[in-house]
């Protein structure tokens, strides 16, 4: 009679004298996820990147335009389009006196921690191109995400969790390309977490009967991987696949605890506006982001796509949809900022809030209730991680149509984020197809005016 599978595995394990567990350095000459030193001392150790899908209106959120209100109904431009005032009131907050729309009263309370950029510009008026641009630096070509570049440049300090994780209940415009690794080693691709389902990550629980049995099985697999990799050390896809299996094993050990919020206090739940036991909504995403940041994840992206891709910030027909969407994210965002600050983490965590483009301050009809796509000017903000707090940077014109001062192109935006992570965007390159590629292509400058 043949011996049981478990007995065979144990005998092979004993005869080969394998060490239990997955041994990264034995599988590859160089661990692609090992921590790497930055180019220069970094202000930020990690990034939490909050992305509002669809295009948040700059003149209705963080860039008040009293002249737009004054001249409501007047026409501008060659096409004689009508100026449309904001239906939302603005209020000054904090010692900085930063003006924030009534859409974001909780975020307004954090005004003295914000660095609001009112002069953002992108190159595409289409959702897909603008979404990939703000993530990958390219409007029309497949390129690695900024999170993948951060992972590639710095590695991770926690081998049991991916260095780049994306919390997204619904796909944004551009789909998974916004967190893809493209030509970078696949191990740097973002790992998507889907809130609101049973397990945020499929197969998070081990299938083996015990941890010791799983270690035996994986150690045996590690031996085969080592033998298979001999002579193929230059194959990045093979190394990435082996590393992904190791990370998956680590995640089975650590991820269940990360997503278990039962030990978080009632006060913490209240801070984020999260109902105890709920795994849905932006509040859950923000609280989990803080827990991932605590555990060494390098780049965490939170995507707010609304109820689905058709119910996001793309307010063509009714700007009042901004009110509902803002209500879902306002308190969680402020809760995250306050929580990071109270734990001493905001100093070395760069929080980024952005969207793909803005909305037009004008419409073809004077009585229009929505706003159209607008790539020429929009707003984003930074907090913590070496960004200058309590300021606005750049200016739009009197109506919020064009940048009037200190334009920040998305290449500049990316160069600045990498700079705060201690990386020179011109030196963070990857050789592919005979050319050295970088996130900022052949452009981009660090925006020194936003640096603390």
Confidence of residue 210 (pLDDT cuts 50, 70, 90): low
15 or 340: which leads in pLDDT: 340
Confidence of residue 188 (pLDDT cuts 50, 70, 90): very high
308 or 402: which leads in pLDDT: 402
The pLDDT value given to residue 374: 98
β-strand pairing of 90-93 with 98-101: antiparallel
User: Between 1.10.3470, 3.40.720, 3.30.70, 1.10.1200, what CATH number should domain 31-204+216-450 receive?
Assistant: 3.40.720
The pLDDT value given to residue 22: 37
Contacts of 85 (CB under 8 A, 6+ apart): 68, 69, 72
Q: For the residues 280-287, what does the mean pLDDT come to?
A: 96
> Quick check: 194 pLDDT over 50?
yes
> Quick check: 375 pLDDT over 70?
yes
Percentage of the chain exceeding pLDDT 90 = 74
> Quick check: 16 pLDDT over 50?
no
The pLDDT value given to residue 13: 37
Percentage of the chain exceeding pLDDT 70 = 81
> Quick check: 166 pLDDT over 80?
yes
Handedness of CA 441, 445, 450, 452 (dihedral sign): positive
If we measure between CA atoms, which residue out of 397, 389, 393, 451 comes closest to residue 67? 397
> Quick check: 299 pLDDT over 50?
yes
Residue with structure tokens 């595409």?
Answer: 124
Give the pLDDT confidence of 95-154 residue by residue, as tens digits: 999 999 999 999 999 999 999 999 999 999 999 999 999 999 999 999 999 999 999 999
Supply the mean pLDDT for the chain. Answer: 88
The pLDDT value given to residue 286: 98
Give the pLDDT confidence of 41-61 residue by residue, as tens digits: 999 999 999 999 999 999 999
Crossing angle, helix 211-229 and helix 236-258, to 10 degrees? 160
């Amino acid at each position: 009679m043949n011996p049981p599978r478990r007995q065979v595995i144990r005998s092979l394990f004993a005869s080969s004298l394998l060490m239990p567990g997955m041994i990264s350095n034995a599988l590859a000459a160089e661990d692609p996820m090992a921590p790497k030193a930055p180019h220069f001392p970094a202000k930020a150790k990690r990034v939490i990147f909050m992305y509002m899908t669809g295009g948040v209106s700059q003149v209705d959120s963080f860039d008040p335009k009293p002249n737009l209100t004054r001249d409501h109904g007047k026409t501008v431009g060659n096409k004689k389009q009508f100026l449309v005032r904001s239906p939302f009131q603005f209020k000054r907050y904090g010692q900085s006196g930063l003006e924030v729309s009534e859409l974001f009263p909780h975020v307004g309370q954090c005004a003295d921690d914000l660095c609001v950029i009112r002069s953002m510009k992108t190159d595409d008026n289409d959702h897909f191109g603008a979404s990939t641009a703000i993530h990958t630096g390219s409007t029309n070509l497949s390129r690695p995400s900024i999170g993948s570049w951060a992972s590639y440049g710095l590695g991770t300090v926690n081998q049991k969790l991916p260095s780049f994780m994306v919390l997204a209940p619904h796909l944004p415009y551009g789909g998974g390309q916004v967190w893809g690794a493209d030509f970078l080693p696949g191990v740097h691709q973002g790992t998507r977490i889907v809130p609101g389902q049973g397990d945020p990550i499929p197969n998070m629980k081990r299938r083996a009967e015990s941890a010791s049995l799983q270690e035996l099985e994986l150690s045996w697999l590690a031996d085969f991987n080592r033998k298979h990799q001999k002579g193929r050390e230059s194959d990045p896809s093979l190394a990435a696949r082996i590393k992904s299996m190791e990370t998956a094993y680590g995640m089975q050990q650590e991820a269940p605890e990360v997503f278990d919020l039962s030990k978080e206090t009632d006060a913490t739940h209240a801070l984020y506006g999260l109902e105890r036991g709920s795994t849905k909504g932006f509040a859950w995403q923000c609280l989990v982001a803080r827990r991932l940041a605590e555990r060494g994840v390098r780049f965490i992206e939170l995507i707010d796509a609304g109820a689905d891709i058709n119910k996001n910030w793309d307010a063509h027909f009714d700007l009042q949809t901004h009110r509902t969407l803002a209500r879902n994210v306002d308190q969680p965002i402020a809760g995250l900022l306050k929580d990071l600050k109270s734990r001493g983490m905001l100093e070395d965590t760069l929080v980024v809030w952005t969207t793909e483009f803005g909305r037009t301050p004008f419409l073809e009809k004077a009585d229009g209730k929505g706003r159209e796509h607008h790539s020429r000017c929009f707003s984003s903000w930074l907090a913590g991680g070496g960004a200058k707090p309590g300021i606005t940077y750049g200016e739009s014109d009197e109506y919020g149509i064009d940048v009037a001062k200190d334009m920040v192109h998305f290449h500049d935006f990316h160069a600045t984020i990498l700079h705060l992570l201690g990386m020179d965007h011109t030196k963070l390159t990857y050789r592919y197809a005979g050319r050295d590629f970088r996130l900022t292509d052949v452009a981009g400058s660090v925006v020194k005016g936003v640096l603390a």
